[in-house]
Amino acid sequence: MEHDPLLSTRVSAGYPGRPSVLREAVLEISPGEIVGLVGESGSGKSTMALALSRLLQYRGGSVHGELRFGGRDLLEIPEKAMRRVRGREIGLVLQSPIASLNPAMRIGDQVHESWRAHKEHYGRPFSRTDAIKLLERVSLPADESFLRRYPSQLSVGQAQRVLIAMAIVHRPRLLIADEPTSALDAVTQAEILQLFSRLNRDLEMSILYISHDLLSVGSICERVAILSEGRVVEFNSTENIFRRPAHPYTKALIASIPRLPAGFSSSQLEREGLDLVRGETAVA
C-alpha cells in the first residue's frame, strides 16, 4: 500500500441556520483501503459524504477547509474541473436506492447515462455487452431483460446494486457509500458488504463506508473514524476501536452493541460477515 494518502481532509461545513454541522473533521484514506465513518443520526455523516464530493452546495450548504484528493485540494479547483473528478475518480452511492433511481428510465439507460457523463474517458462506445459485464460484477442478472426493467420492478437490494454499478462504471479510485445498507434486510446487507469487499480487492478501489452500524463497519473496514457532533473524535484501526476504544463516545457506542447469545461462536459471527465483535468486547 502506498504511503501517501489518497484522500485527506480537515473540513468544516454547514447550512444556513446550521453553520457548524462539521467542525474541522479530519479523515484520511490510503489507496486500496476501506475506512468506516460511524456516527449517530445528526452527527454529520451525510454532510461529510456530500462535502467530499463537493455536492453540498446543491443542498444549500457550504464547505471550507482542506480537501486533498490525489495531491489536489478539491476545494480550490473550479466546478468544471470538479465535474471531471466526480463520477470518474470519486463515485458516490447514496441511501434510499429506489428513490435515487429515475422511475421513468429503464435500468440499461440509467447505466448508460452514468457512462456518458465521462465518455471521453473511453476510446469506444459503451455497449450492451459492457453493461451486462457491469451487472455481473455487482451480482445482478446479466441479461437484456434486466436492463429493460424499470426501478419499480426491482427489489430494494437489486436497486442498491444498480446504484453501485452506476458508481463504479468508470472504476473510480474512491467510492463513497453513504448508509448503503440501511434499507436492506440482514441477508441482503451481508451480501452488499461482501460485494464492497470484492470490489475493493478486484478493482483496488478505496472505499469510505459510512454507517451508524458498528457491526457492519467492523466486518469490512481496516480503520474506523468516529464522528460525534461534527468532529472526528477517534480514528484508529478497527481492532483498536473495538477492543481498546479511547474516547468516551466510542466507548458508549461499543457498549450499546447487543451481546451475542450464549453458544454463538466467533466463527459463526465471521460467516455472517460480522467479525471482531463479541460479547466480551463491550465496554461496561
How confident is the model over 235-256, as a mean pLDDT? 94
For the structural domain made of 1-89+206-284, what CATH number should be given? Answer: 3.40.50.300
How confident is the model over 257-269, as a mean pLDDT? 51
Query: What band does 263 get if pLDDT is binned at 50, 70 and 90?
Result: very low
In terms of pLDDT, which residue wins out, 25 or 280?
A: 25
> Which pLDDT value is given to residue 120?
61
Record the pTM. Answer: 0.88
Query: What band does 275 get if pLDDT is binned at 50, 70 and 90?
Result: very low
* Ranges of each domain in the chain: 1-89+206-284
Q: For the chain, what's the residue count?
A: 284
Spatial separation of the C-alpha atoms in residues 234 and 247, rounded to whole Å: 6
In terms of pLDDT, which residue wins out, 78 or 275?
A: 78
| Beta bridge mates, 135 | none
Query: What band does 229 get if pLDDT is binned at 50, 70 and 90?
Result: very high
pLDDT, tens digit (0-9, with 9 covering 90-100), for 70-119: 999 999 999 999 998 998 999 999 888 888 899 999 999 999 888 887 66
Cα 84 to Cα 70, 164, 171, distances in angstroms: 13, 19, 13
Q: Minimal CA–CA distance to 36: which of 194, 238, 193?
A: 238
For the chain, what is the mean pLDDT? 87
pLDDT, tens digit (0-9, with 9 covering 90-100), for 204-223: 999 999 999 888 999 999 99
Query: What band does 3 get if pLDDT is binned at 50, 70 and 90?
Result: low
Residue linked to cell 437490494: 157
236 pLDDT higher than 70: yes
In terms of pLDDT, which residue wins out, 3 or 17?
A: 17
Backbone angles phi, psi at 65, to 5 degrees: 120, -135
pLDDT, tens digit (0-9, with 9 covering 90-100), for 108-164: 999 988 888 766 655 567 788 888 999 999 999 988 999 999 999 999 999 999 999
Query: What band does 44 get if pLDDT is binned at 50, 70 and 90?
Result: very high
